Every structure is written in structure tokens, then in C-alpha cells.
Amino acid sequence: MTFEPGQQLDPQSYVVTRGDLVRYAGASGDFNPIHWSDRVAASVGLPGVIAHGMYTLALAGRALTTWVGDPARVISVGARFTKPVVVPDDDVGTTVEVTGVVSSVDDGVAKIDLTVTSAGVKVLGMSKAAVRC
């Protein structure tokens, strides 16, 4: 697809369950127990088990891939992990929403500002991507 400055990209909504975090731990190799053990999460002062920051960024990358079609077009993507995404040990999980807006298009490169929220709270900061048009 082509990008125009100011263009709003289709919002994406993803459900995250505790089981997804366990799968992601295995897939990524990040077995930090704060992402699967309530006991360890509590011991370091967290409100509960939280998603890997990289899980949330992977969802932003999934949305970006949906928008651009071919991820080979992506030049860069990144974010700050500003708020934890608490994932309860139930069958419902929590929902992460990803929206994007094209902030500029210059020299064949579109800059995209992503907004990633969970339970109405922005969980990633400075979430930006650059893609080839």
C-alpha cells in the first residue's frame, strides 16, 4: 500500500493470555519468571505477571506487517516500555490495541507513529517506525 501524511492506519486488536506469554517465552528464549510466575512477579513489586515488553512490541510489529504487507519494507521499529501489561491467569486474558498514523513521507520513506494501549492505558512510549513507500 502507499502512505500519505496524516493517514490513519486500520486499528488492530489482539488478545493476550497467560498461555501466549508461555509460548512467547519458548519462542523467544526469554524465560524471565516475571512473565509467567505470580510469585516472582510479586517479589519484585509487580502487580502480577506482565507481558514481555517484547511481546507488546511484537504485536506492534504484527500490526505494522499487516499495514505494509511486506515486512522487508520496514527500515526501523522501536518503542519504550513505559507501562506494564498485566496478563491475568484466566481464560479471557487482556487486549492490546495498536493504531498508527503516518507522520511524514519524505524521499520514499514513511514515518509512522504507533499508539499501543491496553485497558485504555498507553503502554508503549516513543513508538515509531520507518518504512519504504
Partner 1 sequence: MALDPGLAGRTFAPTAAYAVSREKVAEFAAAIGAAPLDDGEQASLTFPIVVAFQAMTGLMTDPDVGIELHHVIHVDQRFEQTRPIRAGDRLTGTLTIDSMRHGAGVDMISTRTEVATTDGGHVATAYATLAYREGPA
Lookup: cell for 65: 506487517
| CA 51 distance to own-chain centroid | 10
Contact 28, 52 (CB under 8 A): yes
Kindly tell me which residue out of 38, 48, 65, 97 binds partner 1, with binding defined by CB under 8 A.
65
CA distances for 36 relative to 19, 30, 78, 133, angstroms: 9, 11, 24, 39
Lookup: cell for 92: 479471557
Binding region for partner 1 (CB under 8 A) out of 18-26, 85-93, 99-107, 111-119: 18-26
Binding region for partner 1 (CB under 8 A) out of 1-9, 60-68, 97-105, 111-119: 60-68
Greatest CA separation for the chain: 51
What is the C-alpha to C-alpha distance for residues 115 and 100, in angstroms, rounded to an integer? 6
Nearer to partner 1 by Cβ, of 23 and 122: the residue is 23
Applying CB under 8 A, does 57 fall inside the site for partner 1? yes
Binding region for partner 1 (CB under 8 A) out of 2-10, 75-83, 98-106, 110-118: 75-83
Binding site for partner 1 (CB under 8 A): 14, 20, 23-24, 26-34, 40, 43-44, 52-55, 57-59, 61-62, 64-65, 71-72, 74-81, 126
